[in-house]
Chains A and B, each alone.
Chain A
Amino acid sequence: MFDRRQDLKTIRRCKRGEEDAFKEILERYRGPIYNLCYRMTRNAEDARDLGQEVFIKVFSLLDRFDENYAFSSWLFRIATNHCIDHLRRNRLRFLSLDGGVGQDGEEYEIQLPDGGPEPDTVLQRKEALQRLDEVIGQLPPHYRAITLLRHDQQLSYDEIAEVLHLPLGTVKARIHRARNLVQQMLKARAYDI
């Protein structure tokens, strides 16, 4: 999904201290990283802070980046670990499969572009997406991260294995389990998608 060679060229320019190269990296990855952080934390302020911290960390450690790996893998690994650490630090509680109270008790709404009056099907789709997003937000952090990397960021199994430093078999098993959890949680809430 991400252009590895193009990234490498840009990173080498970053290492020479070219400010435009850092802006290019931001242009390419700010959306994916912010969205990953947002869906991991379900909080816009936390997502902004975490996303910024991820880039600040990455940009200060470019000398440690191993060019044998994809830059995107390295970036997503740092972002994923940073989000999971944040969740651990804040001791967020997650819903059990048989239901319960939301982790922060706040209403949560996906921001979709405003349009005119919506046909029923579009509205239903929007509501279904919102319910699905809510369920993903209640997965345990490791399952949430792997689901987002696979579906939200469209990474392949191999790329996820590289990002998370896990064997391919473990990645497949974990994604399988995460999707089963999503399915069970949707059923437990009688959510129809």
Chain B
Amino acid sequence: MDGREHQEDVTLACADTRDRLQGYLDGTLAKSESVAIFLHLRDCGGCREEHEHLQAMFSMLDELPQLPVPDDFDARILDSIPLAAYREMEPLRRDRVPVFLEESYLPAWLRDARTRLAGLSVTLAAVIAVAVADQPQPLLLAAVVGAVPEILVRCQGWARQATLAWRRAEN
């Protein structure tokens, strides 16, 4: 385009305008950029023509006709769906929980009833001793540590139940 044929725009050159025309038509430019292009198009015949051409192309691209789908399109697809497999998998899928909520995630020795009972015994003894001890801090620590296996197993169980209830409600 010959710059002498129209009023020179001082804020945006023709090359810049044309480079941004797509964004202008898509509406993805910043407001200030859009305004600058709008003003440039008002004054520049060449860029206006380019804009109109691009706009026509966009409009045509959006209007490409949708072709009819062949009548026999679905049959092969529907025949291939592994419906039985999905139905068999459903109970397993519904009862699936994150791996850290699986019972086997905690070590067997920690889940063992004897470990938990021993831990709770330590906790109970420590709590009783706290009442008569001059320095209760170590005993309090022992009480907490003793309860850890039981707390872990209980919390995991509650979280698993809550997850399963949520999954079933969701489905």
Q: Do residues B67 and A17 form an inter-chain contact, with CB atoms below 8 A?
A: no
* Residue B62 at the chain A interface, CB threshold 8 Å: yes
Comparing B37-45, B73-81, B112-120, the segment that makes contact with chain A is B73-81
* A182, B53: Cα distance in complex, Å: 12
A17 with B90, Cβ < 8 A, contacts A35-B67, A38-B67 known: yes
Provide the A158-182 mask, 1 if CB < 8 A to any CB of B, else 0. 0000000000000010011001001
For residue A37, give the distance in angstroms from its CB to the closest CB of chain B: 10
Chain B's interface size range is 35 or more
User: Which one of B22, B26, B69, B83 lies within 8 Å of A31 (CB-CB)?
Assistant: B69
- The yes or no answer to B54 lying at the interface (CB within 8 A) is yes
Collect the chain B residues with CB atoms within 8 Å of residue A34's CB: 67, 69-70, 73
Segment 31-65 of B: residues with Cβ below 8 Å from A: 53-54, 56-58, 60-65
Contact of B60 among A22, A31, A193 (CB under 8 A): A193
CA distance A51 to B74 in the complex (A): 10
Q: Which one of A77-85, A86-94, A100-108, A126-134 is at the B interface?
A: A126-134
Residues of A within 8 A of B170 (CB): 12
Q: A16-B90, A59-B77, A59-B81 are in contact. Are A111 and B61 (CB under 8 A)?
A: no
CB neighbours (8 Å) of B57 from chain A are: 132, 179, 182-183, 186, 193
> For the complex, what is the distance from the CA of A147 to the CA of B64, rounded to whole Å?
12
Secondary structure of the A side of the interface? helix
Select from chain A the residue with minimum beta-carbon distance to B94.
Answer: A16
With an 8 A cutoff between CB atoms, is A66 at the interface?
no
B69 with A129: CB separation less than 8 A: no
Summarize B's interface: helix, strand, loop or mixed: helix
Whether, in the assembled complex, A56 has its beta carbon less than 8 Å from a beta carbon of chain B, the answer is yes
Question: Closest chain B residue to A26 by CB distance?
Answer: B74
Is A143 in contact with chain B by the CB < 8 A criterion? Answer: no
Cβ contact within 8 Å between A30 and B73: yes
How many A residues are at the interface, by size bracket? 35 or more
Task: Point out the residue from B60, B63, B87 that lies within 8 Å of A16, measured CB to CB.
Answer: B87
User: In the bound complex, how far is the Cα of B118 from the Cα of A82, in angstroms?
Assistant: 60
Nearest CB on B from A49, distance (A):
9
**A56: which of B68, B80, B83, B86 is its contact (CB, 8 Å)?**
B80
Q: How far is the CB of A108 from chain B (nearest CB, A)?
A: 12
Q: Which of A15, A38, A152, A175 contacts B90 (CB 8 A)?
A: A15
Binary A-proximity of B72-109 (CB < 8 A = 1, otherwise 0): 01101110111111110110010000000000000000
* Shortest beta-carbon distance from A137 to chain B in Å: 11
Looking across the interface, which residue of chain A has its beta carbon closest to that of B56?
A193
11 interchain pairs, CB-CB under 8 A: A12-B171, A26-B78, A31-B69, A34-B73, A35-B66, A48-B70, A60-B82, A151-B58, A179-B57, A183-B57, A193-B60
Q: Which residues on B are within 8 Å of A, measured CB to CB?
A: 22-23, 26, 28, 53-54, 56-58, 60-70, 73-74, 76-78, 80-87, 89-90, 93, 170-171
List residues of chain A with CB under 8 Å of any chain B CB: 12, 14-17, 19, 22-23, 26, 30-31, 34-35, 38-39, 44, 48, 51-52, 55-56, 59-60, 62-63, 110-112, 128-129, 132-133, 136, 147, 150-152, 154, 157, 172, 175-176, 179, 182-183, 186, 193
**Additional A-B contacts beyond A16-B90, A31-B69, A52-B77 (10; CB < 8 A):** A15-B89, A17-B85, A17-B86, A19-B83, A26-B77, A51-B69, A110-B64, A111-B65, A112-B65, A183-B57
